[in-house]
Structure 1
Amino acid sequence: MKKNPREHLRVTEQDTDRVTRLTIPPQPSEAHHSFYEDFTLQGIRVDRFQPGSISCSFTVPPRLTDRNGNMAVGAIANLVDEIGATVVHEKDAPMNVSVDMSIAYVSTAKLNDELEISAKLLGGKGFVKGTLVVLKNKTTGEVIAEGRHSLFCRTRSRI
């Protein structure tokens, strides 16, 4: 039996309770990042970083799960965006801008699952660079999602 879409999207009392329990720390005026980045990236541990690749660990927190206890697809998309951008970031260079993202959601991650996130630079042409970001369950090795991310990257000025 199919569910009515309106019923599926209805905000429950449990959903309301989860949102009201969120604590949002004040952002200092000199912060160079957003609440959005803090909300998603909090708890990521960088295991290895070298030019062109990064490897991180992450435990799925309650704030990034849907009402079924699965990691929200929007949180996965944000991780692909943020971690992919980290691979091409250059100190003192203008901000990189996402121009395309394609994500294959292969499996689900549950609350408290330990994830391994790896990203690598695929290459670039002109001002566009591409990255590949893979999220895996650290215990089982099962791929959760694989994202390809293209960014417009300006190089820093040599003046």
Structure 2
Amino acid sequence: MNGDHSKLARKWLENSSKFQLDGLALQGMRIDRVEKGLIRCGLVIPDHLSDGEGNWNVGAISVLIDDMAAGAVFSCCAGNLATVDFTMSFYSAVKVDEEVEIEANVVGQKGNLVAVVIDIKKKGNGEKVATGKQWMHTTPFKSSQSGKSKL
């Protein structure tokens, strides 16, 4: 893994809540811990993320899993990221106003591909809500070439 970019990853996660889709899914998220290859957060499920039955909407869970994976990967491999494989398993429903704990862990790297696992559990009883497994491709940021002409 390339280095420790956990401070940048935290800032990226905090700023993601300002974007329209990400902002809806991450609104109210509490970032508890960010370190190289690991992010832990908590979230009380807000009403605007519920489905017709008062459960946490699976689309919102998907966005949160993708953002958490990107943050964890960015914490050790800062650069441009692209999701190349994304699987999720759902185990139990979460109602509005329930609290969940989210943990994203980088579990491996092969070249520019990084694997991350995201676990979501209910706070208190630890019941598993969902698991995401994701492979992301990383491309280092290119250095600025300002002032150089291509002519």
Same fold? TM cut 0.5: yes
Q: Which residue of structure 2 lines up, in the alignment, with residue 144 of structure 1?
A: 129
Contiguous gaps of at least 5 residues in structure 1? 1-30
Deviation per residue, 1:87-125 (Å, 9 max, x gap): 011599542111111111011111011000001001111
Q: Distance in 1 between matches of 2:99 and 2:87?
A: 23
Count residues in correspondence: 129
Q: Distance in 1 between matches of 2:21 and 2:27?
A: 10
TM-score by length of 1: 0.75
* From 61, 66, 81, the counterpart of 1:81: 66
Which of these two proteins has the greater Rg computed from alpha carbons? 1
Contiguous gaps of at least 5 residues in structure 2? 1-14, 145-151
Q: How does 1:15-94 map to 2 (within 5 A)?
A: 34-89=19-74, 93-94=78-79
Residue identity (%): 31
8 Å contact kept, 1:93–1:157: no
Change (3 A) 1:91 1:104: closer
More strand by share: 2
Say which SS state the counterpart of residue 118 (structure 1) adopts: strand
Q: How does 1:102-117 map to 2 (within 5 A)?
A: 102-117=87-102
Moved over 2 A (4+): 31-34, 90-95, 155-159
TM-score by length of 2: 0.78
Structure with the bigger RCO (C-alpha within 8 Å, sep 6+) is 2
* From 101, 107, 130, the counterpart of 2:115: 130
* From 80, 84, 90, the counterpart of 1:99: 84
